[in-house]
Amino acid sequence: MITEYQHQGSLAAPAPTLTICPNTVLGYLSVNALVLVSYLGFKGVVAFLAAGLCMLLRRPDRAGVEMRAFWWIYLLPGWCILSLFWSDNPYLSLRHGAQLGVTFLIAATLANRLSPIVFLRLLFSALALAGVASLLFGSLRFDGVWLGIFESKNYYAFTMVALVLCSFALLADPAESPAWRGAGFIGLAMGLPQIKMAESLGAILATVFVLAAALTILLTHALPFARRAGVLTLFGATALAGILAGLHFQGQILDLIIERTGKDPSLTGRTELWSLALGEIARSPLLGTGYRAFWVQGSPLAEQIWAEYYILSKSGFNFHNLFLSSAVEIGLIGLLLSTALLVPALFLSTFWLMRSRRAPAIFSFMAVTFVLALSMVEVPVFFEFDAVTVIVLVALVQSLRAVREEPQARTRGQGGPLS
């Protein structure tokens, strides 16, 4: 039968073939391990590193090109490593700084070797798996808060927020297939209740703001440029005024929340922490204490804070503000390097979404905006082997690639930048 088929040549229908892309397989393994690293522990870290570095080494010639093209993103981990020379704990700064550098390297590899839509679908699949597992096999914290399969409610909340943002992006993309848009609807239905179950007020408020911002931009796509600019300017001014008012009246707002709900929304005590952070920054404003060198046992101020807030484990605590936390550990220079990643990511992803209604553009904008909104009351980035950190870096690289490649796409007569 095979011989007869071969002699018929073009008259016979071609045999179906299954094509497997190694980068897609390695990308899924890497992203899935990263999302589940809190649950898998050391095994998850090893799987993330193995898959990510295998993807990198498949084309070592491209690795050098990619590193040169995005060299500036490595300034932050480089500074963290360099902080070992003045760190209160040089070994910790070196180890965590090197791990952060590898995480940045794998994030850039994922952003360059996978198309934006493939990365988004792989991320959605991994997040959906985490969402299902959290519902089926999750556990309660000592105070009754649902943690899913994760070790902390914040990590659980951030993971479910990422699922919601992925799902919304797939659902809102008019060019996406019905199957993926349906998956997006299911992801929304699964992720939204779990954000509430995690009881992270900051994550809930930031998610509402991000969805509103994305919808505003999407709904103005059909408007003339002048009206569109006016609507977006008004939204931005309103959002900024709301943020400033919230910061000014945060004490009264927190008292009202506690009075109405009867529960601590995990925002109390932040002003005291921020005051302590400012005092620590004044001790070494430019260099800081060293990357990951403050929250360690034996540090006088850290021990004082743990005792005051009854943190018996002496771990899993921070200053609940990304900018203050960065300034404490890596100084104002390190803070500047962190800001030099987040602010361009916001502008580039916003520009991308202004030009494209595809799911990757929607998700990149929402992911970066969420991190920046949450950064006022949490420390969502930059950590090694951390899903939120990798997502932000991928969004930054993909947004920059989209902006760079848009003129080429127009010249070739295509509809827009990266898809």
Residue 408 has pLDDT above 70, yes or no: no
Continuous segment of H or E residues that includes residue 160: helix 153-172
| Domain-located, residue 388 | yes
Average pLDDT over residues 187-204: 90
State which residues form the domain around 255.
22-410
Residue 175 has pLDDT above 70, yes or no: yes
DSSP label at residue 83: G
41 — alpha (psi -120 to 50), left (phi > 0) or beta? left
How far is 304 from 118, CA to CA, in rounded Å?
47
Residue 348 has pLDDT above 50, yes or no: yes
pLDDT-derived band of residue 265, with 50, 70 and 90 as boundaries? very low
How far is 326 from 369, CA to CA, in rounded Å?
19
| Domain-located, residue 6 | no
Average pLDDT over residues 257-282: 69
| Domain-located, residue 321 | yes
pLDDT of residue 361: 96
Paired tokens of 5: 């088929």
Burial of 148 (0-12, 13-18, 19+ CB in 10 A): buried
pLDDT of residue 359: 95
Tens-digit pLDDT profile for residues 105-138: 999 999 999 999 999 999 999 999 999 999 999 8
pLDDT of residue 31: 97
Burial of 153 (0-12, 13-18, 19+ CB in 10 A): buried
| Domain-located, residue 364 | yes
Number of H helices, E strands in the chain: 18, 2
Contacts of 397 (CB under 8 A, 6+ apart): 70, 73, 107, 108, 111, 112
What residues does 139 pair with on adjacent strands? 148
| Domain-located, residue 102 | yes
CA dihedral (157, 163, 165, 169) in degrees, to 10, reads: 180
pTM score, whole prediction: 0.87
- 72-81, 326-335, 346-355: lowest mean pLDDT where? 346-355
- Map tokens 């807030």 to a residue: 309
Reduced to 3 states (helix: H, G, I; strand: E, B; else coil), residue 73 is helix
| Domain-located, residue 415 | no
Number of domains in the chain: 1
Tens-digit pLDDT profile for residues 40-86: 999 999 999 999 999 999 988 898 899 999 999 999 999 999 999 99
Residue 346 has pLDDT above 70, yes or no: yes
| Domain-located, residue 278 | yes
Tens-digit pLDDT profile for residues 363-398: 999 999 999 999 988 899 999 999 999 999 999 999
| Domain-located, residue 126 | yes
